[in-house]
Amino acid sequence: MLFNSITYLVYLPVMVLVYYLIPKTSIRNLWLLVGSYYFYMNWNARYALLLFSATAVTYLGALIISRLAESNASQLKRRACLIVCLCINLGILGIFKYSAMVIRWINNIFVIIGKQPMQGFDLILPVGISFFTLQAVGYLIDVYRGDIACEKNFFTYALFVSFFPQLVAGPIERSKNLLIQLKTHSSFKYENIQRGIYYILYGLMVKMVIADNLAMYVDAVYSDTITYSGWYIVTATIAFAFQIYCDFYGYSIIAKGSACLLGINLMSNFEAPYLAKSVREFWRRWHISLSTWFRDYLYIPLGGNKKGTIRKYINLFIVFAVSGLWHGAAFSFILWGIINGIYQIIGDIIKKHLRKDEKRTVLFCRKALDTVITFVLIDFAWLFFRAGSWSQAKFIINNFITNIDNFEGLKYESIRIAWGFPVNMVQGVTVALIILGIIDFEKYKNVSVVDKIIVQDVWFRYVIVIALAIFVLTYGCYGLAYNPQQFIYFQF
What pLDDT is stored for residue 284 in this prediction? 95
What pLDDT is stored for residue 478 in this prediction? 65
pLDDT tens digits for 421-457? 777 788 889 999 999 999 999 999 999 899 899 888 8
pLDDT tens digits for 59-85? 999 999 999 988 887 889 999 999 999
The set of residues, in sequence order, having a beta carbon less than 8 Å from that of 66 and lying 6+ positions away, is 143, 149, 150
What pLDDT is stored for residue 280 in this prediction? 93
pLDDT band at 467 (very low <50, low <70, confident <90, very high): very high
Lowest mean pLDDT among 1-15, 269-283, 358-372, 458-472: 358-372
Q: What DSSP state is assigned to residue 490?
A: G
CB 30 within 8 A of CB 51: no
More confident residue, 472 or 491: 472
From CA 479, how far away is CA 484, in angstroms rounded?
A: 9
More confident residue, 411 or 139: 139
- DSSP-based three-state secondary structure for 4: coil
The set of residues, in sequence order, having a beta carbon less than 8 Å from that of 408 and lying 6+ positions away, is 230, 231, 232, 414
Give percent of the chain above pLDDT 70. 94
Q: In this structure, which long-range contacts are made by residues 220-225, counting pairs with CB atoms below 8 Å and at least 24 apart in sequence?
A: 220/418, 220/419, 220/420, 221/409, 221/418, 222/386, 222/387, 222/396, 225/395, 225/396, 225/399
From CA 224, how far away is CA 213, in angstroms rounded?
A: 18
The set of residues, in sequence order, having a beta carbon less than 8 Å from that of 469 and lying 6+ positions away, is 201
Instruction: Work out the angle at residue 283's Cα, subtended by the Cα atoms of residues 280 and 289, and round it to the nearest 5 degrees.
Output: 145
What pLDDT is stored for residue 382 in this prediction? 94
As a dihedral over the C-alpha atoms of residue 74, residue 76, residue 78, residue 83, rounded to 10 degrees, the angle is 180
CB 57 within 8 A of CB 89: yes
Lowest mean pLDDT among 126-130, 172-176, 380-384, 421-425: 421-425
pLDDT band at 126 (very low <50, low <70, confident <90, very high): confident
pTM: 0.91
Lowest mean pLDDT among 95-99, 158-162, 208-212, 333-337: 95-99
Residue 44: pLDDT over 50: yes
Average pLDDT along the chain: 88
From CA 421, how far away is CA 107, in angstroms rounded?
A: 44
From CA 289, how far away is CA 298, in angstroms rounded?
A: 14
- 384-395: b (≥16 Cβ within 10 Å) or e: bbbbeeeebbee
CB 397 within 8 A of CB 363: no
Picking from 392, 414, 397, the residue whose alpha carbon sits closest to that of residue 233 is 397
pLDDT tens digits for 158-182? 999 999 999 988 799 999 999 999 9
More confident residue, 310 or 407: 310
Residue 41: pLDDT over 90: yes
What pLDDT is stored for residue 104 in this prediction? 76
Can you say how many angstroms the Cα of residue 299 is from the centroid of all Cα atoms in its chain?
19
What pLDDT is stored for residue 399 in this prediction? 84
Amino acid at 123: L
CB 384 within 8 A of CB 335: yes
Give the pLDDT mean for 107-121. 74
What pLDDT is stored for residue 226 in this prediction? 81
What pLDDT is stored for residue 354 in this prediction? 67
Given the residues 185, 287, 327, 353, the one annotated as active site: 327
pLDDT band at 481 (very low <50, low <70, confident <90, very high): very low
Residue 474: pLDDT over 50: yes
At residue 118, φ and ψ (nearest 5 deg) are -70, 155
Residue 362: pLDDT over 70: no
Give the pLDDT mean for 239-268. 95
What pLDDT is stored for residue 289 in this prediction? 96
What pLDDT is stored for residue 489 in this prediction? 52
At residue 288, φ and ψ (nearest 5 deg) are -60, -40
Given its phi and psi angles, is residue 446 left (phi above 0), alpha (psi -120 to 50 degrees) or beta?
A: left
pLDDT band at 361 (very low <50, low <70, confident <90, very high): low
**Please, where are the H alpha helices in 356-389?**
360-387
Burial of 466 (0-12, 13-18, 19+ CB in 10 A): exposed
Amino acid at 332: S
Q: Is 327 assigned a catalytic role?
A: yes
Picking from 77, 175, 78, 81, the residue whose alpha carbon sits closest to that of residue 134 is 175
What pLDDT is stored for residue 274 in this prediction? 96
